[in-house]
Amino acid sequence: MYNAKSLKAEEFISDEEIRETLEYADANKDNLELIDKIIEKAKLRKGLNHREASVLLACENEERLAEVYDLAKQIKQDYYGNRIVLFAPLYLSNYCVNGCVYCPYHAKNKHIARKKLTQEEIIKEVTALQDMGHKRLAIEAGEDPVNNPIEYILECIDTIYSIKHKNGAIRRVNVNIAATTVENYRKLKEKGIGTYILFQETYNKKSYEQLHPTGPKHDYAYHTEAMDRAMEGGIDDVGLGVLFGLEMYRYEFAGILMHAEHLEAVHGVGPHTISVPRVKRADDIDPNDFDNGISDDIFAKICALIRVSVPYTGMIISTRESQKVREMVLPLGVSQISGGSRTSVGGYAEPEAEEDNSAQFDVSDQRSLDEVVGWLIKLGYIPSFCTACYREGRTGDRFMALCKNMQILNCCHPNALMTLKEYLEDYASEETKKLGIEMIDRELEKIPNPKVKQTAYEHIHDIAEGKRDFRF
Ligand code: SAM
């Protein structure tokens, strides 16, 4: 029985409800009267439920879809402005006891090089990441209670936060590790993590069990209920995601929105972010083995519909996507991207030899962080290295309130400009620096509150003089 407030996976992600939703969407995909009503509701910027959003996903009317895309662009502009937050993944260990059939870390893969960073190696990796200009990391690890116990992850977080190299610092560590206990989530929270990210991979229980045949990740309920445990452990910023390609995208789309509705219903706050990874080629993995790959157009449609359905949830696109695809979806509501990423364990300090492959997947966007920053500026986006919200305690519903009140221009926008200025001073190439300084001059003028504008001007000046780490 479907119940968004239930704490049981099979009740808040009800297979029956998803199937009925898909039938309803099919039955109404040409019902323009209903579609217009749903679009009108979306224009109120309070989001759509999984049924309404699924009708729009099924709709193929070009005129109506153009309206949805325009609305997605408008919502992005209103709530997020033209900022794009940058981060990098840091792979700590690829030891894994699970049998996920799409992932090269699966336990039976005997030819991938298994690696686990020592604390000395982490210092090297983080120093290399700081020298690129990164301030925000997402740490990644396989699931292995012997090789990567929670104590190891906690120690790594301490090490990462402790490294202050030149003007560099990692100011926010997001964590993408396997589902764990309330007690462990509490320990992660105490270490000062940002978002806890866990991809559902697929919301379809039957497929989930087939795709995760062995290991602790096989347990669908334990995995699906992880965000509730994370919130019980005090983590109020959680990041959802499905791995597109594994199951029918329409099923996943309804599932992820139901998950968001569930978090809102139970904890009073929806997901902080949604990621939209697609299955990629990797050691021992051929994406063509999975039947449900989606075209770039469908991918863009999903991004636009996530934006209008959950306007206050950030959306993340990784370097699994090419420059071309990223360019297509950026205006549709993306708020965070990774840049200069390496998906191998230890790949930042020393690029890995080919025969030594420890990578999780092939990276499509292989540009350096400086190239990504320059590209964003040329497209009119402000590359942001901001980590202010969580350091100011604006997490969970307090962050949502900022977003809902559209205070972005007086807060996130100047923070983005100040962190961009730091990047330009410390790490940028001459060309990027020139483009960035012109952008900052233009963008400072847009700050509506005169006091905030004046303070931002002063801080930008102070950064040029060598001071660092200002925030609103
Ligand atoms: N082991 C943890 C877990 O089970 O959640 C950490 C996550 S793993 C390092 C990060 C994510 O990469 C996975 O959740 C999965 O969605 C994604 N991934 C795995 N194999 C992939 C592939 N071949 N292509 C693209 N993404 C993949």
Q: In this predicted model, what pLDDT tens digit does every residue of 29-47 receive, in sequence order? A: 999 999 999 999 999 999 9
CB under 8 Å to 196, separation ≥6 — which residues? 174, 175, 185, 188, 227, 230, 235, 237, 238, 239
What is the distance in A from the centroid of ligand 1 to the CA of 114?
Answer: 16
pLDDT of residue 350: 87
| Cβ–Cβ under 8 Å, residues 128 and 165 | no
Q: Tens of pLDDT along 277-299?
A: 999 999 999 999 998 999 999 99
Amino acid at 448: P
- Over the stretch 318-336, which tens digit does the pLDDT of each residue have? 999 999 999 999 999 999 9
**Cα 208 to middle of ligand 1, angstroms:** 14
Indicate the pLDDT class of residue 241, thresholds 50, 70 and 90: very high
Pocket test for ligand 1, best of 94, 174, 243 (most atoms within 8 A of CB): 243
DSSP state at residue 351: P
Q: Is the pLDDT of residue 141 over 80?
A: yes
Q: What is the pLDDT of residue 356?
A: 73
Q: Is the pLDDT of residue 427 over 90?
A: yes
At 60, which amino acid appears?
E
**193 within 8 A of 173, measured Cβ to Cβ:** yes
Checking if the pLDDT of 179 tops 90, the result is yes
197 alpha carbon – ligand 1 mean position (Å): 11
What's the mean pLDDT when you consider all of the chain?
96
Atom of ligand 1 lying closest to residue 287 CA = 23
Which residues have C-beta within 8 Å of that of residue 221, sequence separation ≥ 6? 8, 9, 10
Q: Average of pLDDT values for 145-170?
A: 98
- Region 155-172: mean pLDDT is 97
Q: Which residue's alpha carbon is nearest to atom 25 within ligand 1? A: 279
Res 404 pLDDT > 90? no
H or E element that contains 90: strand 83-93
Rounded Cα distance, 196 and 215, in Å: 21
Quick check: 63 and 391 in contact, CB under 8 A? Answer: no
Instruction: State the average pLDDT over residues 366-372.
Output: 97
**Ligand 1 pocket, residues with Cβ under 6 angstroms:** 102-103, 140, 142-143, 176-178, 198-199, 201, 217, 243, 277, 279-280, 282, 285, 320, 360-361
Q: What is the Å distance from ligand 1's center to 66 Cα?
A: 33
**pLDDT band for position 410 (50/70/90)?**
confident
Amino acid at 399: F
**261 CA from centroid of ligand 1 (Å):** 24
DSSP 4: T
pTM of the model: 0.97
